[in-house]
Homo-oligomer: A and B are copies of this chain.
Amino acid sequence: VARTLEFYFDFISPYGYLGSLGIVEVAARHGCKVDWRPTLLGVSVMGVMGLPPLGETPLKGPYMANDFPRCFRLQGVPLKMGGNGSMAPLPAGRAFSWIKAQDRSAAVRFAQRVYRGQWSEGIDMSSVDNLAAAGEALGFDRRELIAALDDPEVKALHRASVDAAIELGVFGVPTFHIDGELFWGHDRLPHVDRWLATGGW
């Protein structure tokens, strides 16, 4: 039986994007399934932790602005940011939850499109039109997807995912959850790799 690793993400984070690329490879190496679960840093970091957004944090904001492009370059991942790098991740998260309820595999492909568009292709994925186009490319109806973004049931479904992530202790992205252990950061992928290989230490 394949093990399942939970991957917590928020489209707002370029580190989350790097994590989404890396976990595919790491999980495949160990025959591990990945369950993609959305969260929102606006709720965990600003709401629960009471911290300012990372980009606006003195010292750390400027550091991050240099560090994440350096990480992209090191990994050979194109960096071309949609919306000048600022993103409202709520519509994309809700669209993901709506798709996931119908087809988990399509939801992963949708998330990968959103991440790649926002961070590697310069497409503003805060835009409902662009989200609808991403859904359409996967066979989902444009108007249904747009309607879903305001559907109270979809909103509740997405919010329940965010609340469950925070209940588990997830505060930042990417976070990987396996065997009751949380690993936070794309720079913890080597630890996840080792954990999956050895069963822990």
Where the two chains meet, the residues of A that have a C-beta atom closer than 8 Å to any C-beta of B are 44, 48-52, 57-60, 62-63, 66-67, 70-71, 73-74, 166, 169-172, 181-185, 187-188, 191, 194, 201
Other-chain residue from B49, B58, B70, B188 in contact with A60 (beta carbon distance below 8 A): B49
Distance between A182 CB and nearest chain B CB, rounded to angstroms: 6
Other-chain residue from B44, B48, B185 in contact with A187 (beta carbon distance below 8 A): B185
Distance between A107 CB and nearest chain B CB, rounded to angstroms: 25
Query: Once the chains are docked, how many angstroms separate the CA of A25 from the CA of B60?
Result: 27
Which residues of B are found within 8 Å of A58, using beta-carbon distances?
Answer: 48-50, 171
Report the copy number of this chain in the oligomer.
2
Contact A44–B73 (Cβ < 8 Å): no
Contact B187–A188 (Cβ < 8 Å): yes
Contact A63–B188 (Cβ < 8 Å): no
Distance between A114 CB and nearest chain B CB, rounded to angstroms: 25
Other-chain residue from B49, B73, B191 in contact with A70 (beta carbon distance below 8 A): B191
Distance between A162 CB and nearest chain B CB, rounded to angstroms: 13
Q: Which residue of B lies closest to A51 (CB)?
A: B51
Contact A74–B191 (Cβ < 8 Å): yes
Other-chain residue from B44, B67, B71, B73 in contact with A59 (beta carbon distance below 8 A): B44
Contact A49–B44 (Cβ < 8 Å): no
Other-chain residue from B50, B70, B182, B194 in contact with A63 (beta carbon distance below 8 A): B182
Distance between A27 CB and nearest chain B CB, rounded to angstroms: 19
**9 residue pairs, one from A and one from B, having the closest CB atoms:** A59-B171, A187-B187, A49-B58, A60-B171, A73-B201, A48-B58, A59-B169, A74-B201, A49-B57
Q: Which residue of B lies closest to A50 (CB)?
A: B58
Which residues of B are found within 8 Å of A57, using beta-carbon distances?
Answer: 49, 51
Distance between A201 CB and nearest chain B CB, rounded to angstroms: 5
Contact B181–A63 (Cβ < 8 Å): no
